[in-house]
Structures are given as structure tokens and as C-alpha cells.
Amino acid sequence: MTLVVQKFGGTSVADADRIRAVADHIARTRRAGDDVVVVVSAMGKATDDLLHLAEQVSRTRPGRELDMLLTSGERISMALLCMALAERGVAAASFTGSQAGIITDTIHTKARILEVKGDRLRAALAEAVVPVVAGFQGVSSTRDITTLGRGGSDTTAVALAAALGADRCEIYTDVSGVFSADPRLVPDARKLPRISFEEMLEIAATGGRVLALRSVEFARNHHVPLLVRSSFTWEPGTVITEEDPSMEQPVVSAVTHDTSQAKITLAGVADRPGIAASLFRHLADRSINVDMIVQNISHAGTTDISFTVPLDDVAASRQVAESMLEELSAAEVVTDEDVAMVSLVGAGMKTHPGVTATMFETLAAEGINIEMISTSPIRISCMVRSAVAERAVQVLHRAFELGSAHS
Amino acid sequence: MTLVVQKFGGTSVADADRIRAVADHIARTRRAGDDVVVVVSAMGKATDDLLHLAEQVSRTRPGRELDMLLTSGERISMALLCMALAERGVAAASFTGSQAGIITDTIHTKARILEVKGDRLRAALAEAVVPVVAGFQGVSSTRDITTLGRGGSDTTAVALAAALGADRCEIYTDVSGVFSADPRLVPDARKLPRISFEEMLEIAATGGRVLALRSVEFARNHHVPLLVRSSFTWEPGTVITEEDPSMEQPVVSAVTHDTSQAKITLAGVADRPGIAASLFRHLADRSINVDMIVQNISHAGTTDISFTVPLDDVAASRQVAESMLEELSAAEVVTDEDVAMVSLVGAGMKTHPGVTATMFETLAAEGINIEMISTSPIRISCMVRSAVAERAVQVLHRAFELGSAHS
């Protein structure tokens, strides 16, 4: 018998109507003969509402209590979903992260899963009961309630699929799959029927918002095939799975963009060994996630070091950099928030070296200046002015013939 | 050191302002040198909102899932309260019913407490951390989330006070104590500074809404002194404690009324042994709580049996009674919802036999007809038409000089 994990995000269970639609879908899956484990997020904007309430109550918001607060959201959605399933004659039982045996470390608000026990879920399945599990939450080794941070419900779903040996993990959301570009920017963007974990990782890392990077990594490491689908249209979605070596890979699968980064430049840095190491150690100590790093060729014994950080970390990064001006013998710190990353992702790139050249030529022909470049075996990312990012995505999408007219 | 359990009801934590006021009070208690364990209800109308949502989602609402749903409410209020305490420099930690070790039976939506472990609460107290515990909820012997039913948060507070050996249990609510009558009916009703558990039990059982009967019973059985106070005015409230045999008891402490009962009469019942037993066994099998029972003197081999039930149970009770018409050789079933119970409660009544006569004379002088009577050693209850209940309370309050003019 097939075992499927179905995860429904906040928009999929946003109100009573949506919850009933989700229950109908789960009931259909059961009637088709599959075993199902369900993972749900909190309803719609429930989490935002709770955070707003917390802000009204106190300026001090300890992580342990934030986690206690936020984990109430999934209790509500999962209990309601179980009621709707009961009305449809589907035996179901809700389980908190703790009851499901999702054991995490003790880092509140961004805990990592240490172990998935899942005994009660297996017992429920053995009794033909559909377990409905709270996403995003677990219980720490010290028996406190924890949350898994951003994208946590996807991570819960994938972790459960791995622990229970599920045949696949279906992620239901408000988009119908992974596209060759953001359809809001590129009207003829094409839904990709199938992509590899590696491509999905690059897409998630460079601005594709469909799946959280972390859950894709987890799925790849545990060989859990993913299916991303819409819970509004229920149309076929995108399958994310191991690369199939017997098939030829598309050279480029998708164009992504990311406007959530800023560029920070330390100008006139003394070009001595160890300078960069010292800077990035200090940034890491502040838990600042540096993405791209470029160091220019040295002129007259000094160089410029530029790096990108999430917009939220600009102030802290600037502080770190400025505190090191003397140590680095640097002239000044320049921050630039009007930047965007535009990336090409494709598994076939590994064997098609011409992609970079085509990308640069396409952007040059549009008069778009490239400020920084970074590459992986299956990705090329260029930093451009944020004002031209949308146009860059559109011309690259056309140049690589990714639209539905070419499928 | 004194250990106090402080319980705050839904109106006491209804919004951010109220939660901050409660945090201020707990901080004051700590500064005064007392150890505190806090119990909170869900915020204001949160429980009603969740029930309304459940009604929108499904007509089938299994108890297990209702309990999962409703227990989210206290998570929110207790986490917010801990944040407000943290802002005031008071170390606090929230605990679910499960984390607090409140073990119940498996009867969802009205579970009974089997055991209070409280290990984590003791550990928190030992580290000078204020435990903030979710009221109304526990975990069953089969590890499912349960709720304690009506008045559940009061029961949680009293059970914790008993288990932890607290010096007293303070119940904070939106009234300032227990009154000699409902102040909305009797403007000069007097707040009672001190009453016995027995009086409070009778008051709670006959319409006094301040405390749930069950929590008072628990407090009496475990010798936990109660204090009922307002969290809006913080003025001195009512102490409920063991009867002090060294003091003379007031003859009458309070007049109560209850309009939530209906009268059901089986007319023309064959007057045979066992008839009444059979009827009330069938009612009990349907979990219908019968309060007052009166059987008239037999005339010509038949009699009338009248009993009172909560208004919610009228339809079911009528069904039971009608299904037994043949077995009881009864003529008909008559239901009457326009009735009210008016009661006098007072520990001194035991030794003052004149109270009943005064009560009857007072009502008669007002032309108020008494339809049924029931008594306990410290209570007399009369059933009257609901239309005259308010006047009955007022004249009795005056006749027994219970008002503040007489205190």
C-alpha cells in the first residue's frame, strides 16, 4: 500500500470553506486506497495575528514563550480538519509535534529536528486512522515546546515522510507548482512538471519562494520525492526527485530573482592574507548569513571586498564592518540596498558551457550592467540594479526559450 | 515562605491591557515575598470564537478534537502573560496541562483529574521561576489532551493548590467577591467577607455564579482556603474556608436564585413501589442531572411526580418521560420552563428552625406562590414563577436584613 504525506499550508486552511475542501481531498485520497499522514500549518494569517498580539503585550518576548504562543495556531487548524474528516466518515486524529514524537534541539524559534519517533502515528495508521500532525513544531530534549522557524511545516512533512518511509511527500500551497520564472513577472512562464532536488535547491536559494531550502535539503538527503501542488485548483503540480541519469537534462530550467539582499562593500582594504577571514568570522559570530562574496584585484596594495547579506542584517553587518575599519586598514563601508540577484538554474548546465556567455550577452544587449557574479555547477547568478531585475528576468526567460510556447 | 496559587479568568486576561495589569499584580505579589503559581483561562471570548469556528467547519465534532481545539486558548494567554512578566523582570515559564502533570481520565470535554504530578512546577519554584499553568486542561492516561469542562480553570487552580500544598488559592474574576444576593437585582447586596465551604457549595448549587461547584468541593475536600477577588478593582474579596466553630454563624448569609431549570411533571402515575426508581434510572442513563424531586400524596391510586432539570436537558427528559408513559401507567407529561428557584443559604440555619417559617411568610405576604420546596441543613429552596423571582429575592434579602445597611 502507498503511504503519502500531504502537507497543507496556511492559505490552504485559511477558513472553514478551505478546510472542508482539504478534507474532501484527503477523503478522496483515502478512497483511492492510499494511506495518508497529514501535516497542517496554522490558518492563514493566524501566526501574524498572534505575533501582533505579543507585540501589544510586551517588548520582551522570550523564545520559549513565543514558541508556546505560536504553536497554538496548528492546534486549531488540525483539530478543525479532523472534525471535517469525521463528518466525511474518515477516521482521523490530531497530534501535536510532541505527540508525533518530533524531537528537536533546544533553540527556540528556530529549532532543528534531532529525531522523529512517530510511534503514535504508526499506531494510528495501523488502525486505519489518518494522523493529522501539527507542522512547524516539536518538543525539545528538555520537554519544552519548540518551533522550527521559517518553512517549518514543510520540514515537518518531509521529516515525517522520511521517518515513516512514505512513498512521497505532497506539499499543497497556493501556487500550482514550480515555474520557469515568477509568473507575475513573466506571463508565459511554464510550470515545470519535473525537476531534480539539486535544481530545486538552487531555485529555493536564489529567490524561488515555493519551498523552503531546508525542507528540500532534507528531502534530498532522505530520498523523499516531493510533489508541489495547488490546493485551490488541484491540478498536476511539480515533482521534485532524484536526477534521472538516463534522461537528458534541460540546459536551463528556470530564471529566478531575489530582491531581499543588500550589497556591502569595504573599500580600500589592505591586501594582506587573513583579512577576509577575520571579517567573515566576525559576521558569522553575529549569525549573519553571507551569500555572495567578491574581492577585486588588488591595486596599489589595497582591494575592495563586497558581500551580500539579507536586508534584515544590513544594520548589524554595517556595524561589524565599521568596527573593523582600523583592523582592516580600510577606507570606508558602503551599503547598497538597490540590488537584485538574477539567476539561471539548470541541471544540464554542467555539460553546456555556453550558458554563461549567452546570459551575459543577453543582459548586455539590454544595457543591463552586471555588478557581481557567482556560479555553481548548475546555477549562474548575476547582481544587477533592482530597477532592472524584472526586465532581466524577462529577457533571460525569452533568450533561453523557457516559456510555454517552447514547451 | 507563603505559596499562593492565583487564577485569572477569561475576563481578567481579555486583552493586552488586562494581561499587563495581571502581570503587574503578580509582580507585586512576588515583591511582597510570596511564591506564586499562576493559572490562566483563555482570553475573553476566545473559547466561544473557537466553538463558532468548529460549527462552521463541521457538524461532527469529536470530543478528542474539540479538546485539542479549545486547549489552544490557554496557550495563547499564558504565553502572553509570561512575556509581560519577563518585561517586568519576573522570571516566568508557561506550562500546558500536560507539562504541569495534570493527569485526567479519558472522558473528553469533561474529564476528571486523577492525579496532579507537578514535578516541573516544583522545579520552577525552586529556581524562583513563576509557573504559569494553562487552566481547564490536562492529559489523559492514554496521552490525549483533555479538558475539564465548565469551571475547569477553577478546578485546575484548586487541584494545583492542593497538590503543591499552597497556603491559599486566589480566584480573580470580574466580580469583587460573593454577595448576599445578586447585586444586579438587589442594589444594597453586601459583599460577604468570609463564608464557609458548605455555604459556598449551597450558593454555587443554587445559582450563585461566582465559583463552579466542583472547584469548591475540591477545595473543601483538600482544605484549600479560597479567596475570590476582582482583577479590575483588586479590592478585598471573599474568603471561603473551613467553618470556624468558635464563631457564631450568621443565620442567613445569602439569597440566591436560579432560572436555568425547568420543571417536568408526570401526571397520574400509578402509585406502585419502584415507579420513581425506574424513571430516574432512565434519566441518569442519559446523563441528565435531576435536581429537585417532589412526589405528591397519592389520590385514588395515582400520584404526580415533578422534578427539575437544566433547561438544556428538557427535550431529552421529556423524551425519556414520554417513552415511559405506558410502563408508569401515567396520563401525561407536562413541562414548564417558566420557573425559578429562590434559595436562602446560611450556616446558622442548622440551629435556627424559624427561618423556614419567616421565608414562607415573607413570600406569602407578597402574594408569591411556592410550587416546590427542597431543603438541606443550611439551605431552603422554593420554586416560584420566574416572573416573580426577582421580587422574591428582594423581599427575602430585606426580610433577613442581609443588606449593607445592616452589616
CB-based contact A61 B86, cutoff 8 Å:
yes
**What is the rounded radius of gyration, in angstroms, for the C-alpha atoms of chain A?**
23
Q: Where are the beta strands (DSSP E) in A215-338?
A: 226-230, 238-241, 254-258, 261-270, 293-295, 302-310, 332-336
Q: Is B151 on the interface with A (CB under 8 A)?
A: no
pLDDT value of position A247: 67
Read off the pLDDT of each residue in A153-169 and give the average, rounded to a whole number.
97
Domain-embedded: residue B52: yes
The residue that leads in pLDDT, A213 or A118, is: A118
Contacts of B54 in chain A (CB under 8 A): 79-80, 83
Domain annotation covers residue B223? no
Per-residue confidence (pLDDT) for residue A76, from 0 to 100? 97
**What nine digits make up the cell of B176?**
469583587
In-domain check, residue B248 = no
Cβ neighbours, 10 Å, residue A337: 12
Assess B94–A contact: CB distance below 8 Å, yes or no. Answer: yes
Taking alpha carbons only, the member of B383, B86, B52 closest to residue A66 is B86
Q: Please report the pLDDT score of residue A253 as a whole number.
A: 93
- Separation between Cα atoms, residue B102 and residue B115, nearest integer Å: 6
pTM of the model: 0.87
Please, are residues B67 and A49 in contact by the beta-carbon 8 Å criterion? no
The domain that holds A289 is classified in CATH as 3.30.70.260
Contact at CB, B64 and A93, closer than 8 angstroms:
yes
The shortest C-alpha distance from B86 to chain A (Å) reads: 6
Q: Are residues A104 and A162 in the same domain?
A: yes
Residue at A221 is within a domain: no
For residue B86, list chain A residues with Cβ-Cβ distance below 8 A: 58, 60-62, 65
User: Using CA atoms, how far apart are residues A159 and A176, in angstroms rounded to an integer?
Assistant: 23
How far does B16 lie from chain A, in Å, by closest CA?
A: 5
| pLDDT tens digits for range B323-346 | 988 888 888 999 999 999 999 999
Q: Half-sphere exposure of B96 toward its Cβ, with a 13 Å CA cutoff?
A: 29
Among A290, A308, A336, the domain boundary falls at A336
Whether A298 shows a pLDDT value over 60: the answer reads: yes
* Chain A residues within an 8 Å CB radius of B53: 16, 76, 80
CA distance linking residue A26 with residue B275, whole number of Å: 52
Nearest to B68 among A53, A59, A79 (CB): A79
Best of B15, B17, B72 to disrupt the A interface by mutation (most A CBs within 10 Å)?
Answer: B72
The interface pTM score, or ipTM, of the predicted complex is 0.84
The residue-averaged pLDDT of A269-293 equals 82
Domain-embedded: residue B394 = no
Torsion of CA B179, B182, B188, B191, to 10 degrees: 10
* Mean predicted lDDT score pLDDT of chain B: 92
- Which has the higher per-residue pLDDT, A282 or A225? A225
Question: What gap in Å lies between CA B3 and CA B100, rounded to an integer?
Answer: 17
Q: pLDDT by residue (tens digit) across A91-134?
A: 999 999 999 999 999 999 989 999 999 999 999 999 999 999 99
CA atoms lying within 13 Å on the CB side of residue A40: 33
Q: Say if residue A373's pLDDT is above 90.
A: no
Residue A27 sits in the same domain as residue A129: yes
CA dist A5 and A299 (Å) reads: 57
Partners of residue B241 on adjacent β-strands: B196
Angstrom distance (rounded) from CA A37 to CA A19? 16
Note the pLDDT of residue A108. 95
Instruction: Count other Cβ atoms within 10 Å, centred on residue B257.
Output: 23
How confident is the model over B120-153, as pLDDT tens digits? 999 999 999 999 999 999 999 999 999 998 889 9
User: Which ranges constitute the DSSP H helices of A88-167?
Assistant: 119-126, 152-164
A39 and A90 together in one domain: yes
> In which band, very low, low, confident or very high, does the pLDDT at A304 lie, cut at 50, 70 and 90?
confident
Which residue range(s) make up the domain with B91? Answer: 3-174
- Please tell me the predicted confidence (pLDDT) of residue B2: 95
| Chain A touched by B69 (CB under 8 Å) | yes
Q: What is the pLDDT of residue A296?
A: 73
Task: Grade residue A232 by pLDDT with cuts at 50, 70 and 90.
Answer: very high
- Measured distance CA(B174)–CA(B195) in Å, rounded: 19
Q: Is B62 on the interface with A (CB under 8 A)?
A: yes
Residue B266 scores a pLDDT above 60? yes
Is A110 found in the same domain as A79?
Answer: yes
pLDDT at B359: 92
| Helical H segments across A93-232, by residue range | 119-126, 152-164, 197-205, 213-221
The answer to whether residue B251 is domain-embedded is no
Count of CB pairs separated by less than 8 Å, A with B: 123
The residue of B18, B80, B95 whose CB has the most chain A CBs within 10 angstroms, and thus the best one to mutate to test that interface, is B80
- Tell whether A129 lies on the interface with B, counting CB pairs under 8 A: no
Q: Are residues A326 and A345 in the same domain?
A: no
At a CB cut-off of 8 Å and minimum separation 6, what does A319 contact? none
Mean pLDDT score, A361-382: 90
pLDDT at position B3 is 97
Q: Could you tell me if B56 lies within 8 Å of chain A, comparing CB atoms?
A: yes
Q: Are residues A323 and A352 in the same domain?
A: no
pLDDT tens-digit readout, B54-89: 999 999 999 999 999 999 999 999 999 999 999 999
Q: Can you tell me the distance from the alpha carbon of A159 to that of A6, in angstroms, rounded to the nearest whole number?
A: 12
Q: Which residue has the higher pLDDT, A290 or A274?
A: A290
Tell me which of A336, A358, A385 is where a domain ends. Answer: A336
Residue of A nearest to B83 (CA): A61
Do A332 and A370 sit in the same domain of this protein? no
Residue B297 has pLDDT above 80, yes or no: no
Domain count, chain B: 1
Per-residue confidence (pLDDT) for residue B274, from 0 to 100: 74
Per-residue pLDDT at A303 exceeds 90: no
**CATH number of the domain within which B93 lies:** 3.40.1160.10
